[in-house]
Structures are given as structure tokens and as C-alpha cells.
Amino acid sequence: MVYFLTSVVRMAVPLMIAALGLVVSERAGLMNIGVEGIMLFGCFFSFFVSYNTGSTWLGLLAGCAAGIISSFIFACASITFKASQIVVGCAMNMLGSGLTAVMFRKYFMENSVNGALANSFQAIPIPVLSKIPVIGDVFFNHNIIVYFCYFLIFAVWFVMNRTSIGVKIIACGEHPKAADSLGINVFVVRYLATLFSGFMMGLAGTYLAIAQSNTFQVDMTGGKGYIAMAVVVLGQWKALGVVFGSLIFGAANALQMAIQNSTVINIQYNLILAIPYVITVLAVIVSGRKRIFDASAKGTPYIKS
């Protein structure tokens, strides 16, 4: 049971990080469905740098930078040039999937280093807390990115609910013209919110490549970007709701892995792989029955009059 609960936390962390970034950008009025592609950029560049330098910290910086740069492309297209956010997001997914696959094959496979392993972040047990029965292993015996995720939960909640920054972000997503009339620079707020979300998506990809594992595989995110979007909907665009939603999907992924490794349960492999996605659809259907807290101006380019 302890191993399963620990797996739930490990599987939930990348979803949680990416979803927290989406909470900020979507409340600011941006509909970025390119999460999958941006996470893939974070995966590849964190692995590439960590493999070539031997430094996990440089890999972390590279993965986060890749997320910020790719989200800046999305921001330029959708905020400055007023392009359709849905179309740009789809383009980012295709670009992330295709470009990382080409770069991986070009650098690693053609140079006969397929299956290369990079240095990865190791678990750091927190003194005293990690010794608490059950809870210690589940929450306090992980790598540094997991602990940083704990901080990010509080930080995003605090900023969005207790600061003027959160008020400005929400105002730009709810009624950008009113926000502009009060002296809030809608373009700057939306750019910064998008870049922050890109940082978070890059960090989530970094976690997958050099924290949860120590390698890169083509399309290794496996739909986690799309699931992160469902987590935001299930969490009603709130930081604490996102935590709850991430743990649900983390449990689904952990259950999937447990069933695969079980010698007792005999279920067709493809059905096992479908478990997280079935739960994703069910969660979105259930959340659709609740009151929606989404930004009313989300997905609509702001045109300053």
C-alpha cells in the first residue's frame, strides 16, 4: 500500500506542475492547448543537456528555458498577432512532437547512442519527516522537484487568492477592457502569465526526463499534457482543486502500472493503457455538471480600442 501511495504522488507531480501553470495562464484569458508539445521540449532539452554535461541542474535550467521559449512563441502568435489560440496550440503540439523526435533520432540514434542514460535527480529523504510511518515515505522521500512542487502549490494559491497580482490576472481574463481602463496592462499580464505557464510545463517535462526517469523517448509525455488540461477543468481553475485532480489521475496511472506488473490480474494490455484516459473523460463529464469558474474572456484576443 505504501508503495502504491508513493507511486500516486510520483505520477501526480508532473500533472500538478503543468496544471498549476495552466491555472495562471487560463485565468489570464489564454487557452493554451499546446501543453503536450511544450512539455516534450522540456523533456528533450533537459535530457540532452544533462546527458552532455553530466549536470542535472543544467538540465533543469535547459528544460525550464525550453518551456519558456516555446510558450513565448505561443504568446507572440496569440497575443501580439491575434492568431487563433486553438490553432497555435495545436501547432505547438505538432512542433514539439515532431521536432523532438527528429532531434533525438538525429543526435542519438544516428550516433549509435540509442538508449543513452542521463544523470537524474535522486531522492532526498527529509530528516525526521521521512521517518513518519506511511506519510514519511509517501510525501517526504522524493527528489527536489517534488518538494519544489509542494512550494508551488502554496505559491500559486497565495498569489491568485491573496495578492494584487492575482486580482490583475483574473481581471485580464474576466474583463480585459475594464482592466485596461483601470491602468492594468493586459498585454504584459497575459505575456507574463503565459511565460510562467511555459516555465511550469518545461519543469513538468524536466521531471519526466531526469527525475522520474533518466532517459528520453519519442513522445514520452504520453498524453500527460492533455490530462493536465483535464485536471484544470476538474479542479475548477483553482490551485487546491488542481492538487485533488492531479492525485486522482496519479492514482489512475499508478493503478495502471500496478495492474501491468501484477501476475494475478489478467487484462488485455491495451485496456490497461486506456485506464487514465477513460478516467479523464469521466472526470471532464462530471466536472461539466458543476458551476464553471473559467475566465469569461478566455481564448479571445484583446484588441485595445
Give the strand pairing for 124-125 and 141-142. Answer: antiparallel
124: helix, coil or strand? strand
Give me the tens of pLDDT residue by residue for the chain, a chain 305 residues long: 788 899 999 999 999 999 999 999 999 999 999 999 999 999 999 999 999 999 999 999 999 999 999 999 999 999 999 999 999 999 999 999 999 999 998 888 766 565 688 999 999 999 999 999 989 999 999 999 999 999 999 999 999 999 999 999 999 999 999 999 999 999 999 999 999 999 999 999 999 999 999 999 999 998 999 999 999 988 889 999 999 999 998 988 888 887 777 666 667 767 777 777 788 778 777 766 666 667 888 888 888 86
User: How many whole angstroms separate alpha carbon 44 and alpha carbon 220?
Assistant: 9
Would you state the pLDDT for residue 290?
Answer: 62
Residue 265 has what pLDDT? 66
E strand or H helix that includes residue 280: helix 275-287
Give the pLDDT confidence score for residue 95 in this predicted structure.
Answer: 96
Helix (H) or strand (E) holding 142: strand 141-142
- Shortest CA distance to 212 belongs to which of 113, 122, 104? 122
Let me know if 187 is exposed, middle or buried by CB neighbors in 10 A (0-12, 13-18, 19+).
middle
pLDDT for the residue numbered 297: 86
In the prediction, which pLDDT does 218 show? 92
